[in-house]
Amino acid sequence: MLTGTFESIRNVVSLYRVYYNLISNDGVSTDYLIDHSSIIYLIDSYGNFVTHFNHESPVRGETFVTKKVAIFISGSGSNMVALVKSMHRLQFALPTLVVSNKRDVSGVIKARNLQIPTVCVEAEKVAGCDFNFEASIQKELENYKIDIICLAGFMKVLSARFVDFWQGKILNIHPSLLPKYKGLNTHERVLENNEELTGCTVHEVTGKLDCGRILGQATVPIFPDDSVDAIKSRVLEKEHILYPKTLQQFCLGRSDLVIM
């Protein structure tokens, strides 16, 4: 399906290679091309250049799926913003939905400003119990055909049932070098213990808090006379780089640990 538009794209990226077909989760068909450096160029059904990404050994006829990502937040959503912007910039996945368990948090406004649909489900306002809370969220995830969940400062523990359902498709970022300092108040504990190094970890979510497979880690130094706030902002800055990078690798099916 080489269209006129496609020809002009070819000039821009100067490639003439094999083209394959991409089927999105919605069943939308997209052509993609592979050049000699194994960069895959995605072309949408109108022939517009969509994106490119590296793929180590492309297999002829292989089907690629554009993953739809939901980001769960409870607060300021700075990681959510970093994730959305990186997906917009590098197009390795689609930022599709932001789920918040708090209605009046700045992260929800930031998501709206980024034109990302938002869903607020407040546990205490859902009649019944946690199960109904999660069932409401699950319904939205299904409506939006979500493939991957990124927890980004989501301050509600999800049930084993929910986590099991999403096993291998749900990530979290934690502000410490796991397996050290699981749980809350990590920076306070790091300071109390006179650590010289801390950082952040992106990991898969399992039924055991902060225990899933580690996918990426970034270290941050601790300076003499450091305060909790100073460490927090230094770690957060690294989180905004680590999470998008790790999600990108995850979406491309790469299993190597991201170290920064």
For ligand GRF, the closer CB: 73 or 146: 73
5, 70, 123, 148 from 144: Cα distances, Å: 30, 9, 20, 11
- 210 near ligand GRF (CB under 6 A): no
Q: Would you call 88 a catalytic residue per the annotation?
A: no
Stretch that binds ligand GRF, among 35-43, 91-99, 170-178, 250-258 (CB under 6 A): 170-178
Q: Are 102 and 118 in contact (CB under 8 A)?
A: no
- 244 near ligand GRF (CB under 6 A): no
- 239 near ligand GRF (CB under 6 A): yes
For ligand GRF, the closer CB: 75 or 207: 75
Interface residue with ligand GRF, options 236, 242, 251, 258 (CB under 6 A): 236
Please give the structure tokens belonging to residue 132: 């109904």
Stretch that binds ligand GRF, among 23-31, 71-79, 130-138, 160-168 (CB under 6 A): 71-79
Identity at 187, one-letter amino acid code: H
Distance (Å, whole) CA 200 – CA 181: 10
> Partners of 171 in the beta sheet?
150, 204
Interface residue with ligand GRF, options 75, 85, 144, 165 (CB under 6 A): 75
Provide, rounded to whole angstroms, the least separation between the CB of residue 163 and ligand GRF: 16
- 234 near ligand GRF (CB under 6 A): no
Distance (Å, whole) CA 250 – CA 173: 14
Identity at 50, one-letter amino acid code: V
Residue whose C-beta lies closest to ligand GRF: 153
Burial state string for 17-42 with b = 16 or more CB within 10 A and e = fewer than 16: bebbebebeeeeebbbbbbeeebbbb
Query: Binding to ligand GRF (CB under 6 A): which residues in 181-200?
Result: 200
Interface residue with ligand GRF, options 83, 121, 152, 178 (CB under 6 A): 152
Of the candidates 235, 238, 218, 219, the one whose C-alpha atom is nearest the C-alpha of residue 227 is: 235
Please give the structure tokens belonging to residue 259: 């170290």
- 175 near ligand GRF (CB under 6 A): yes
Provide, rounded to whole angstroms, the least separation between the CB of residue 182 and ligand GRF: 12
- 78 near ligand GRF (CB under 6 A): yes
Catalytic residue among 52, 55, 88, 174: 174
Q: What is the 3-state secondary structure (H, E, C) of 11-73?
A: HHHCCCCEEEEEECCCCCEEEEEECCCCEEEEECCCCCEEEEEECCCCCCCCCCCCCEEEEEE
- 76 near ligand GRF (CB under 6 A): yes
Query: Where in the sequence numbering do the catalytic residues fall?
Result: 174
Task: List residues binding ligand GRF (CB under 6 A).
Answer: 73, 75-79, 107, 152-153, 173-175, 200, 236, 239
